[in-house]
Amino acid sequence: MSLGTWKGQGVLVDFVVLPAHAVAEVPRGVRDGPAAAGLLGVAGQTSAVLVQAAQLRKEQRPLVNGASGGVGYVLTQVLAGLGVHITAICSGKNEDLVRRLGADEYLASTVLDSDDGKQFDAIFDLVGDRQLYTHSPSYLDLGGKYLDIEAGPFGRFKLDNWLPVFLGGTPRAFTPVFSYPSGKSATEAATWVEKGWIKEMVTDSVYSMEEAYEKLATGRATGKIFVNVSLRRPFRINS
Ligand SMILES: NC(=O)c1ccc[n+]([C@@H]2O[C@H](COP(=O)([O-])OP(=O)(O)OC[C@H]3O[C@@H](n4cnc5c(N)ncnc54)[C@H](OP(=O)(O)O)[C@@H]3O)[C@@H](O)[C@H]2O)c1
């Protein structure tokens, strides 16, 4: 991982050299390279780490915040395959999508309260919503994990994540989850495809590099964003 990645800058490359243990075989039924990358790359591998961290049993009830996004579209299908009862949060335009991917219930907002009678065994926060976390004692089972991917590897040390726990305001375990690229988690994602759990590859759109980053920065992608490096946005000189 480069220094640029730690600083949140990242790079796009056509080719990369990897050790053999860091790759996985493309599963049967996935025909093209982009689909394989969209399923077994960041989305599938982060989902693998999340599923491993949550240790959910059949019929337990997780909440997925950001179920329609690049990670959420895979995680939702995998949770459905595991036979748990999924409640999904995303914007209304994506309700039909998340239900099709396997969500049993849909919520339009992260503003939940204990009067709803909703009780979850785990919360997957793919958006990084502090309000959802600080109010979690109202709807997350004691012992239930709050799994966050937005904060990155140092999320545990962020003041607003540990201070409420320390002060007793949010007595739920804040668990930052970070997926380092690995052949093991990519292989796990490949087995989900072969089991038929992942039925759909959701593509937001194919963009030029500049447009792809602009879309990514909105935090409102539906499924995966693809970059076609040969596409060029017309270059304009500001006058
Ligand atoms: N820790 C790790 O290893 C790791 C790995 C991958 C990604 N990440 C991080 O995790 C985050 C999610 O990644 P991603 O690729 O899934 O992002 P994404 O493709 O941009 O998706 C974000 C999703 O969140 C939903 N959303 C946005 N704002 C929301 C809000 N206020 N309330 C509820 N839902 C909201 C959007 O759905 P609607 O438009 O339908 O609302 C969208 O589907 C990013 O911050 C990314 O950097 C971390």
Is the pLDDT reported for residue 1 higher than 50?
Answer: no
Give dist(CA 165, CA 167) in Å, integer.
5
Is the pLDDT reported for residue 17 higher than 60?
Answer: yes
Is the pLDDT reported for residue 3 higher than 60?
Answer: no
According to the model, what pLDDT value does residue 110 have?
A: 75
Going by pLDDT thresholds of 50, 70 and 90, the confidence category of residue 135 is confident
Distance from the alpha carbon of residue 69 to the mean position of ligand 1, in angstroms: 5
For residue 130 and ligand 1, the question of a CB distance below 6 A is answered with: no
Give dist(CA 105, CA 107) in Å, integer.
7
Distance from the alpha carbon of residue 130 to the mean position of ligand 1, in angstroms: 14
Measured at the CA of 75, the angle between CA 71 and CA 77, to 5 degrees, comes to 125
CA distances from 166 to 37, 131, 153, 162 (A): 40, 17, 19, 6
Mutate which of 71, 123, 179 to test ligand 1's pocket (most atoms within 8 Å of Cβ)?
71
Give dist(CA 229, CA 11) in Å, integer.
12
Mean pLDDT over 80-102 rounds to 97
Mean pLDDT of the chain: 86
According to the model, what pLDDT value does residue 180 have?
A: 83
Going by pLDDT thresholds of 50, 70 and 90, the confidence category of residue 137 is confident
CATH classification of 33-201 is 3.40.50.720, yes or no? yes
Which ligand 1 atom sits nearest the alpha carbon of residue 43? Answer: 6
Strand partners, 105: 87
Q: Whose CA is nearest to atom 26 of ligand 1?
A: 66
Distance from the alpha carbon of residue 221 to the mean position of ligand 1, in angstroms: 8
> What is the separation of C-alpha 114 from the centre of its chain, rounded to a whole number of angstroms?
25
Mean pLDDT over 205-229 rounds to 89
Mean pLDDT over 119-136 rounds to 91
| Positive or negative: CA dihedral 235, 11, 125, 56 | positive
Pick from 71, 74, 103: nearest CA to 89: 103
According to the model, what pLDDT value does residue 239 have?
A: 44
For residue 50 and ligand 1, the question of a CB distance below 6 A is answered with: no
Percent pLDDT > 90 in the chain is: 50
* Structure tokens given for 120: 């979850």
Distance from the alpha carbon of residue 117 to the mean position of ligand 1, in angstroms: 26
Going by pLDDT thresholds of 50, 70 and 90, the confidence category of residue 117 is low
Mean pLDDT over 54-70 rounds to 96
Mean pLDDT over 12-18 rounds to 80
Is the pLDDT reported for residue 74 higher than 90?
Answer: yes
Burial of 197 (0-12, 13-18, 19+ CB in 10 A): middle
For residue 101 and ligand 1, the question of a CB distance below 6 A is answered with: no
Residue labelled with tokens 């009678």: 117
Distance from the alpha carbon of residue 123 to the mean position of ligand 1, in angstroms: 14
